[in-house]
Amino acid sequence: MRFRYNLLSFLSIIIFILLWELSSEAQVLPAVLPKPIDVAYSIHRLIDKIPIYTYHSISHFVAGFTIALIVAIPAGALSGWYYSVRAFVKPIVEIIRPIPPIAWIPFVLISFRSDFEASAIIIFIGSFFPIFTNTFLGFSNVPLEYVEIAKTLGARDLDILIKVALPSSLPSILSGIRTGVGVGWMCVVAAEMFGSPGLGLQIMNMRYLHDISAVTAYMLVIGVIGFTLERIVRIVEIKTLKWQKGFVRQV
């Protein structure tokens, strides 16, 4: 089963590249879109620069995403578990949540002198809400019978929160983390397009130079890294939740 899955995944990539090449040759796609061979040449040409800009982008992502984890999980857990905290926090979150992370860029650029800090904050904003929302849902939907059994056994509220609610909410929390990784990584590009060194800034620089093959090359790098990050989180999710019956094991 695993071999078949990996084989189909590999074939899908090959078929995609072939369709891309054939569409380019038949001029079905816009003329500005480069051919796969041109993109491959650009990757080879930029091979010494890609690791440097990738390092900067991953640094921005790690900083912003780590802050999002530290803030969103406790906030979501307390909001989902305690009605008083929910009444205070939830309305504010629901008002701010629909605002796109890119809309905060003018405020962030004015407030932070460091490009690193500005990029990290934009990534934090993008990652925060999926993690908060899923954590909130996990804690607010803990089966009541679990809580009643724990109370019958003499467990205190803090014990129930940590030993009952947290394990029960873990699937939802990890799902939120996986979504937050994807949204946060997409925010890296937007955050860097305004001057912070990284893959996003290079896309803008290559655009100004009308080097569309290089733009596409950097886009593919971003896609591959994003896919890798999602797979890593998915593997951690599966290993963490392997005790659950019926948990989907495909990665």
Closest CA to 221 of 44, 14, 16, 24: 44
Torsion region of 246: left, alpha or beta (phi above 0 gives left; psi -120 to 50 gives alpha): left
Closest CA to 18 of 37, 4, 31, 32: 37
pLDDT tens digit string along 84-96?
999 999 899 999 9
Mean pLDDT of 82-109: 89
CB atoms within 10 A of CB 52: 12
What is the Cα–Cα distance from 222 to 56, expressed in whole angstroms?
12
What are the Cα distances from residue 114, in Å, to 8, 110, 117?
45, 10, 5
Which DSSP category does 241 fall into?
T
Q: Which two tokens stand for residue 251?
A: 């990665």
pLDDT tens digit string along 194-251?
778 899 999 999 988 889 999 999 999 999 999 999 999 988 888 888 766 544 444 4
> What percentage of the chain exceeds 70 in pLDDT?
93
